[in-house]
Structure 1
C-alpha cells in the first residue's frame, strides 16, 4: 500500500499541501542564534508542534539554553529558566502560599513554572519531590498550591536539560517521568566550521552583551493553531500498523523474528505509540507535507524511543546502548 496515497487515511478536515505554513523561516531564525545544532533545533520545533516536552542530554556549554531562549523569542512566548539543584524545593518551582497578617488570609504566589516555555536546567540534579511537582505540570498542564489548582498557559512547553548520568552529582530520572517526555535528544559538539561561525554570533564573544532582539515570527495563537494542524496530518493505515509493530518489537522481539530478548529489560509503553505518531506528523509538517511517510517515522524514532527503552546488563556488557537496539529493530521491521 502506498503510504503517500491520500485515500489511505480518511478525514475531510485533513489539510492540503497548499494550506500548510512555511516553517523554514523559524528554523532559519533559530540557526542564526545557534549554529551547528540543526538536528537539535528541528527536533525542538517538531516537539512543539506535536504538543510534547523535550529532554536534552549533553555536557555543559553546547548552547542548549540559548537555543531554548531563541525559540521562545521567535514564538513570542513567556520564557523562564530554573536551575535545578539538590536543595531545590517543590515550592521553588510551583509557588507557595503567603500569609498576610493584616487580612488573616493566605494568598498564592505563583512560581516560575507558570510560563509558556520552561527551561529546567540540569533536571537530574533535583530531588524526587521536585520531579513529582514537575511531572504533574507536564502531564496535567496544572500545578497545585495548597488547596488551589492553577492552570498553566496554553501552550506549555518544557525543555529539560540533563548532564550525562556518569557525571558527579547526577541521578537517573524515574521511568514514569522519562515516559512523559516526547523526545530525548542527544547533543554533541559542533564541527570546526560551526564553532568558528559561532564566534561571530551577537552576544557570544561578550557574555554580557544583549541578545539580538527581532520581531517574533509567530504568537501563542499561531502556535495553538499549528498544533491543531499537526494533529490533522494524515497517517495511512499501513503506517499506523508499521508504528505499532515498531513499538511492539521492543516488548516482544521474538514475535518479529528478532533475537533481542536478552538485550531488552523493558520495552516502550503504549504512550510511545502515540508519541511516535505525533512526532511523525510534526516531522511531516516541518517538511512541508500533509501526510506522513516512513521516512518521517524513521527520522524521529530514536529520539522518541531511546529514553523509553531500558536495556539489560547483558546489553551494557556488550557495549550496546538503546540506539543500537533500536537500529536493529528499524532495520528489521518491514517498511510498508
Structure 2
C-alpha cells in the first residue's frame, strides 16, 4: 500500500536502544484485537470521499503517467512507469484512514496530500538516468503535489462545500 522510509537512528538514539535492549528487553502488549481491527477497517471504508476529492486523487496519479498534461514536462525523462490504478485506490484508502483517525467521516484534500508521498512514490518507476542523478521518487511526488491544485474547501454557515481551485 505504501512505503515509509525509516532512517537509521542518530547516535544518541542508538545509545538508548543499546541501553534498553541490553537488560530486560521490553515485552509487547496487545492494544488491538482482530475484531477491533476489522471494525476500524469497515469504519474507514465508510468515510466519505467527495467527487472532487476523488478527482484530485485521479489527477495526482495521472500526472505521473502524463506529466505534460499537468505542466510537468521535466518529469518526462524522470518517470519510466507512472503510478498504477493501485496508487489511486491506495490514496483513497489511506486518506480515508487518516480522516478516520483524525475524527472525521469525510476526507479533506490535506488528507490526500499527507499520504500522497508514501503511496505514490512506492508505485513509481524512475528512469535509469534519474536514479543515476540521485532523484528520489518522493521528490517527484513533491513536484506533482505543487503542480496539481487540490480542490478548495469553502465554509458557508457551518457547512463545508468543496470546489475546484
TM-score (norm 2): 0.81
Match of 2:22 among 195, 205, 223: 205
Q: Secondary structure at the match of 1:331?
A: helix
List aligned pairs for 1:25-40, cutoff 5 A: none
Q: Distance in 2 between matches of 1:200 and 1:284?
A: 37
Q: Distance in 2 between matches of 1:213 and 1:296?
A: 30
Q: Distance in 1 between matches of 2:70 and 2:140?
A: 14
- Give 1:316 shift: 2.4
Aligned residue number for residue 65 of structure 2: 251
Q: Distance in 2 between matches of 1:200 and 1:317?
A: 39
Q: Distance in 2 between matches of 1:279 and 1:213?
A: 26
- Give 1:289 shift: 2.2
Q: Secondary structure at the match of 2:98?
A: helix
Q: 1:317 to 1:196 in 2, by over 3 A?
A: closer
Q: Distance in 2 between matches of 1:323 and 1:240?
A: 21
Aligned residue number for residue 2 of structure 2: 183
Aligned residue number for residue 161 of structure 2: none
- Give 1:255 shift: 0.9
Q: 1:331 to 1:210 in 2, by over 3 A?
A: same
Q: Distance in 2 between matches of 1:324 and 1:218?
A: 35
Return the structure number with greater helix share.
Answer: 2
Aligned residue number for residue 231 of structure 1: 45
Return the structure number with greater strand share.
Answer: 1
Q: Secondary structure at the match of 2:58?
A: helix
Instruction: Please list the CA deviations of residues 286-314 of structure 1 after superposition, one character each: whole Å capped at 9, or x if unmatched.
Output: 22222211221111111112221111123
Match of 2:85 among 262, 265, 270: 270
Aligned residue number for residue 218 of structure 1: 32
Q: Distance in 1 between matches of 2:82 and 2:140?
A: 11
Contiguous gaps of at least 5 residues in structure 2: 152-165
Q: Secondary structure at the match of 1:183?
A: coil
Instruction: Please list the CA deviations of residues 62-83 of structure 1 after superposition, one character each: whole Å capped at 9, or x if unmatched.
Output: xxxxxxxxxxxxxxxxxxxxxx
List aligned pairs for 1:18-57, cutoff 5 A: none
TM-score (norm 1): 0.42
Q: Secondary structure at the match of 2:116?
A: helix
- Give 1:223 shift: 0.7
Contiguous gaps of at least 5 residues in structure 1: 1-181
Q: Secondary structure at the match of 2:123?
A: coil
Bigger Cα Rg: 1
List aligned pairs for 1:121-136, cutoff 5 A: none
Aligned residue number for residue 114 of structure 2: 299
**CA-atom RMSD, angstroms?**
1.9
Q: 1:196 to 1:243 in 2, by over 3 A?
A: same
- Give 1:194 shift: 4.0
Q: Distance in 2 between matches of 1:210 and 1:198?
A: 10
